[in-house]
Structure 1
């Protein structure tokens, strides 16, 4: 598929009843890439009766761009949506019809965003959860909020993680708050510091376990000897 010698990918997202939000974003990028975005936002300025030659030339060029934008819309909708816009004489009209048809998508996004925000505030690290797993959960929820129109800043992400860790991270949280500027800390820096602390705690736990076994072994052997003597 070619338009003005610009190759258009053949695997573009096709609008159906479930993917309008993603399709809307992709199409705006495509319009910009094909230099026809103004046809969607502004449309074509009507040509006056006493238009100059320059105005007539511009109108002709704009009309070509409008057909190009309309062709892109036609090429990226399923049969049901084509029925809505197939008879439109301008890209702006077709675009407006689809926006109106899927206006409920924006309302649904608002509801989903409120749900995700509540979940984000209530999210807490579980007792035996690893830092990487917890950060992944927070990141995933942040991505869901972003898809609904509200991004989580690095500062909010860092603050959220620090205040929702389990008590075993209290020492590192205090240390970070005292030694680091949390306003400039990135989530990658935070995760790296927490994982290093987590690794040190695990290593100490293993050392203590080994030491306990080493000290306990003589006593265990003595108890076994006593048990054998009693048995005889």
Structure 2
């Protein structure tokens, strides 16, 4: 057998006769062997005398017939092979397979019903990509087509739009509103969803990088300074062991800088003297900054705070309190409300912001930002578990 025949990939018979027979027919036609399936050949009776040319022609037909049978036997497993009782010629083998698997309408109907159920329950997995899900859907759809089911692109498109994960909901709504689903091809839908999937991944990576930066800054500024105090909190702060705290001044363990016995200066950070006090742990005056709409991210700040009441989109003036600064001065809180910040063309809504008219610098609390991210992730996971 030549190298070309050795490397020939034989289509495996998986029970779907129509699909397999079309592939096998195409292979045999390409090899110039299909006439042995259509017409077959008969060996002459033993007493018949053949000329030298006739004998050569008969030997060639036998060789090619064995070659076709070799392809057919390679395509079926042992169970199917044993169902073929007469294996004299390739045509007899082919006709036997066709009779058992291709011509039985009851078998095809039963298989099609199973495929319909499989198609109906298909839905995208949470960790699955668009390309992977489309491949799963198309495998079932093509099997249904090969068994006589009419599977239009519209039917497949509608199925996919119904069964994507929650993060594609607004994309599906946008597609249904802006495009004609009746004329949309499967390839067009896949390319559109792949583009949105890439955007989701890019935004997710940027969000993760930003959270890591915020957490990194929070950890670096809190070493030995007691910045765990106040309402701001992040991951890993539920359990606190003071024995592991390193003093920022003398570098000994077991106390903070403001408690250091070697310190002769007044502590620059507020202590928890009164439970009803809201603490602003770090206070920095930036004299060179005169813009009232400038914001600074502060890992020691216990709450978001703004000194300009005009920046609030809504403000509850019935809420009053006071904050104590690191230099032991106090400022009055005259209200609590919502502020909208625009960053790179995107509007972000910041809630629970305290209005402190005496404050020179607007501050965003790292603790509150982390708390909002943690709450959002928890709600998302809970909602996903309920849906699934």
Tell whether 2:85 aligns with 1:80.
Answer: yes
| Higher Cα radius of gyration | 2
TM-aligned CA distance change 1:29 to 1:127, over 3 Å: closer
Written as runs of structure 1 = structure 2, the 5 A alignment for 1:69-218 is: 69-71=39-41, 75=65, 80-82=85-87, 105-218=104-217
1:228 aligns with 2:233: no
Structure 2 SS opposite 1:141: helix
Distance of 2:163 and 2:113 partners within structure 1: 20
Residues 143 and 151 of structure 1 are in contact (CA less than 8 Å); yes or no, is this contact kept in structure 2? no
Cα separation, partners in 2 of 1:105 and 1:167, compared to 1, 3 Å: same
RMSD: 4.3
Deviation string, structure 1 residues 77-117 (Cα, Å, up to 9, x no partner): 6883456x99xxxx9xx998876555774322211111111
**Relative to structure 1, is the Cα distance of residues 27 and 136 closer, same or farther in structure 2, using a 3 angstrom cutoff?**
closer
- Normalised to the residue count of structure 2, the TM-score between the two structures is 0.39
Residues paired across the two proteins, number: 187
Relative to structure 1, the CA distance from residue 101 to residue 189 in structure 2 (aligned partners, 3 Å threshold; closer, same or farther) is closer
With over 3 angstroms needed to count, the CA separation of the structure-2 counterparts of 1:116 and 1:28, relative to structure 1, is same
Q: For CA contacts below 8 A with separation 6 or more, give which structure has more relative contact order.
A: 1
SS of corresponding position for 1:125: coil
- Please list every run of 5 or more consecutive structure 2 residues that lacks an aligned counterpart in the other structure: 42-60, 74-83, 226-244, 248-252, 256-388
Q: Residue 22 of structure 1: CA displacement?
A: 5.5
Match of 1:54 in 2: none
Task: Note the residue ranges of structure 1 that are not aligned, 5 or more in a row.
Answer: 1-8, 34-64
1:180 Cα offset (Å): 0.7
CA distance 1:191–1:221, shift in 2 (3 Å): same
Specify the SS of the correspondent of 2:85: helix
Per-residue deviation, residues 131-169 of structure 1 (Å, max 9, x unmatched): 111111101111221232224211111111000001110
**Aligned equivalents of 1:116 and 1:101: distance in 2?**
20
Cα 1:103–1:194 change in 2 (3 A) is closer
Give the conservation status (yes or no) of the 8 Å contact 2:223–2:246: yes
Does the CA-based 8 Å contact 2:16-2:146 persist in structure 1?
no
**TM-score for both structures, normalised by structure 1:** 0.62
Go from structure 1 to structure 2 and tell me whether the alpha carbon gap of 1:200 and 1:26 turns closer, same or farther (over 3 Å shift): closer
Structure 1 residue 25: deviation in Å? Answer: 4.5
Decide which structure has greater strand share. Answer: 2
Could you tell me how far apart the structure 1 residues matched to 2:85 and 2:202 are? 61
2:16–2:143 CA contact under 8 A, matched in 1: no
Partners in 2 of 1:144 and 1:20 — Cα distance?
10
